[in-house]
Amino acid sequence: MARTTIHDIAKELHTTAATVSRALNDHPSISAATKETVKATALRLNYQHNRAASSLRSGKTYVIGVLIPSAEVSFFGSVIHGIEKIAKSQGYNVLLFQTNEQYEDEVQGVQTLLQSNVDGIIASISKETIQYDHFLEVKRRDIPLILFDRSLEGLDVPSVMINDYKGAFMATEHLIEQGFTRIAHISGPQHISIFHERLKGYVDALAAHGMKIDGDLIMYGKVTIDSGRTCAEQLLQLPSPPDAIFAAEDFTALGALQAIKESKWPKPGQIGLVGFANEAFSAYITPSLTTIDQQTALMGEEAAKIFMDLSQKGKKPDLPPQKIVLEPLLVQRESSIKRKPKKKSIP
Amino acid sequence: MARTTIHDIAKELHTTAATVSRALNDHPSISAATKETVKATALRLNYQHNRAASSLRSGKTYVIGVLIPSAEVSFFGSVIHGIEKIAKSQGYNVLLFQTNEQYEDEVQGVQTLLQSNVDGIIASISKETIQYDHFLEVKRRDIPLILFDRSLEGLDVPSVMINDYKGAFMATEHLIEQGFTRIAHISGPQHISIFHERLKGYVDALAAHGMKIDGDLIMYGKVTIDSGRTCAEQLLQLPSPPDAIFAAEDFTALGALQAIKESKWPKPGQIGLVGFANEAFSAYITPSLTTIDQQTALMGEEAAKIFMDLSQKGKKPDLPPQKIVLEPLLVQRESSIKRKPKKKSIP
DNA sequence: CTGAAAGCGCTTACAG
DNA sequence: CTGAAAGCGCTTACAG
């Protein structure tokens, strides 16, 4: 019933716990023969390494704390997936803490993870968070801290972001290449940097292709289905309406699609539409939505890899924190296909 | 730099670590005055409780191991959300391990969680798993094990499931109440119990309403979009086609919807459609899909609550393991609306 | 290549 | 109500 310890193994082999410990950890100064018998005996006695004891002594827990707003949001589920995958491959485990997008919970989360002696923390800050005092204790303890997707001004730590500017540029350019000539953009609140970046990408793509920027074609929405619908309705009622819409985000695009479907003109297929995020529904709506994929699982993997780097190097000469910027991916579907105008019988 | 320990606090207050430990843990035999000064000093010295040390001594880690196929699947993300929420409220944390639906990984996961001395394990077994030897060690160590969604024949442990039979019954009854009279069912592989249960619910609902069961109207699909499409195509080509379809799962329903849209008759809206699972896309397709919600977050919460019960009671007189069966929820949307036939001008 | 010994930071019966 | 002491199961400098 009682758990087997290294002492039990030592007793069995008439040796000491020190030797058993070294053998199990493949310490270089232990003979191959000893290692073999020790490991065989460990297996026979159904020995399980006790991590609590090990980490109390060594100071390492092989646990990465992951602090996210909510595991229920598919974006974060995907990132966790990537983190855990890499972590596991290096002998680490993932301890999860959800902040529910609340500052108070985030503060408590950092505390909890520190009490658990995590070897590092990978976090995406809550929407409420505007100051970072709670993260300073993490830095003070020299525990690697890596942020993903959402960063915090002033907190100088490694991070993994997606290139929003480029994603928007690609989305817009794709519509241009499809042959659309009046491309509108439904953006989001400009104080949120990702939406500002996406707007810039849109503007620059138009400019790069010698197209005029028309203020009438740029709407500022609220990142919801309803807002996307309202913005699109207004766009369609312009004296000179757009022939394509790039929405800053998939739910906005979905709303825009609803507006298009409800309008007399254009019909879906006569107006190009691109979203951003590659949400779970994007592939299945009608028409399926062309969008920008954010490589969410890869984001987690990269964050975990930065952690591995940091914890292996230990205290390297203070390099500036690594900032990884992931390439967005254009996912081409039906909503951005430009229908060739039917040949009119012109003599 | 070095972390504050209870010894530091003790030295500061000219008392002992034992007293400090007791004070911090609100031990009943410590005076209120002592508790107060100890806690104040702990705060002042920025003391952080060291869980590794605590659990090495006490045997409790306040960690629940969660073993799931993949955090990337939204169903599991939701369940984790529910588990972590309850866990946190009781001072527990969640250690995550993904099995990637593979037996080998699941075995390794159980090992890892045991090495981490988790106080309990909440798991959904991988699709590959057909035997449960790896879980026996968990039982042998008297660590609470709770399964959710997917159970394993013969492993007699507490579990949280959803009432698939009832969900299917509700879905079918809903179509009947809408006025549909020839209701087809696209099921899944019958060796998977959830699909078998859903088929039974369908059959019994028809019977309960005095409707005939027509073998032609029951298809056995493969739980994919394509399979749903193919099955629906065949149903629509019957000499006497159905006027409604209950699909055993949302992706199947989505495929069926595609088939309906591509057929000349019926148009969407002329044929009722209900799915099962309330996937992320279900609300956003056209028409929006009526479906059965599985209360995923609640499933996690209930599993966590069972754990709390088990770990508080300790070794109660051996009651049979608790089996919770959650009520499915009908989510009524557009796809099941029965259009009133337009009044023909009959003299 | 192996052993003896100390100690990581707590908790907890035992005494008083 | 508080203290002295042992010990949870490991790891690791130090010695040989």
Domain layout of chain A by residue ranges? 6-49, 61-162+297-326, 164-294+331-336
Q: Are A77 and A71 in contact (CB under 8 A)?
A: yes
Residues counted in chain B: 347
Average pLDDT, chain B: 91
Q: Pairing relation of β-strands B329-331 and B291-293?
A: antiparallel
CATH number for the domain whose boundaries are A61-162+297-326:
3.40.50.2300
Model confidence pLDDT, tens digit, residues B273-304:
999 999 988 999 989 999 999 999 999 999 99
The answer to whether the Cβ–Cβ distance between B51 and A117 falls below 8 Å is yes
Which pair of structure tokens corresponds to residue A307?
């952690």
User: Whole-number mean pLDDT of chain A?
Assistant: 91
At B345 the pLDDT is 46
Mean pLDDT on A246-265: 92
Given a contact cutoff of 8 angstroms between Cβ atoms, the answer to whether A81 and A304 are in contact is no
Q: State the CATH architecture for B164-294+331-336.
A: 3-Layer(aba) Sandwich (3.40)
A240 dihedral zone (left: phi>0; alpha: psi -120 to 50; beta): beta
Selecting from A61, A77, A97 the residue whose C-beta is nearest the C-beta of B74 gives: A77
**For residue B324, which of B74, B66, B149, B123 has the smallest C-alpha distance?**
B149
d(CA B211, CA A230): 46
CA(B27)–C1'(C14) in Å?
17
pLDDT in the model for residue A193: 83
Note the pLDDT of residue B127. Answer: 81
Beta strands, E only, B45-115: 63-68, 93-98
Q: Which of A134, A122, A124, A114 is nearest to A69 (CA)?
A: A124
Those residues with Cβ within 8 angstroms of residue B308's Cβ, 6 or more apart along the chain or in another chain: B86, B90
Q: Is A320 exposed, middle or buried (0-12, 13-18, 19+ CB in 10 A)?
A: exposed
Distance from CA of A313 to the nearest CA of B (A): 20
Q: What is the pLDDT of residues B58-83, one digit of tens each?
A: 989 999 999 999 999 889 999 999 99
> Closest approach of chain B CAs to the CA of A347, in angstroms?
35
How far is CA A58 from its chain centroid? 32
Calculate the alpha carbon distances from B44 to A140, B4, B38, B51 in Å: 16, 10, 10, 20
User: What pLDDT does B130 receive?
Assistant: 83
- Give bridge partners of residue A52 from the DSSP assignment: none
The answer to whether strand D lies under 7 Å from the CB of residue A23 is no
Helical segments of B131-192, H only: 133-140, 164-177
The letter for the amino acid at B244 is A
DSSP assignment letter at B174: H
Out of 4.10.780.10, 3.40.190.10, 1.10.260.40, 3.90.1150.10, select the CATH number for domain A6-49. Answer: 1.10.260.40
Which pLDDT band holds residue A344 (cuts at 50, 70, 90)? very low
Helical residues (DSSP H) of B182-239, grouped into ranges: 193-208, 225-236
Interfacial B residues in 177-236 facing A (CB < 8 Å) = none
Please indicate whether the domains covering A6-49 and A61-162+297-326 agree at the CATH topology level: no
Q: Give the residue on B whose Cα is nearest the Cα of A59.
A: B52
Asked if the bond preceding A287 is cis, omega within 30° of 0, the reply is: yes
Which residue type, as a one-letter code, is found at position A236?
L
**Is residue B136 less than 8 Å (CB to CB) from chain A?**
no
At A107, the amino acid letter reads: V
Chain A residues with CB-CB distance to B50 below 8 A: 56, 115, 117
DSSP annotation of B292 reads: E
pLDDT tens-digit readout, B88-128: 999 999 999 999 999 999 999 999 999 999 999 999 998 88
Distance, CA of A237 to CA of A270 (rounded, Å): 15
Query: Model confidence over A313-343: pLDDT tens digits?
Result: 655 556 788 899 999 999 999 999 987 655 4
Exposed, middle or buried: residue B75 (CB in 10 Å: 0-12, 13-18, 19+)? buried
- Predicted local distance difference test score (pLDDT) of residue A211: 96
* H helices, E strands: number in chain B: 12, 12
For residue B318, what pLDDT band results from cuts at 50, 70 and 90? low
User: What's the pLDDT band for A30 if we cut at 50, 70, 90?
Assistant: confident
Return the pLDDT at A271: 92
Which range (A126-130, B16-20, B338-342) has the least confidence?
B338-342
How large is the average pLDDT for residues B196-200? Answer: 96
Q: What is the pLDDT of residue A24?
A: 92
Closest alpha carbon to C1' of C8, residue: A57
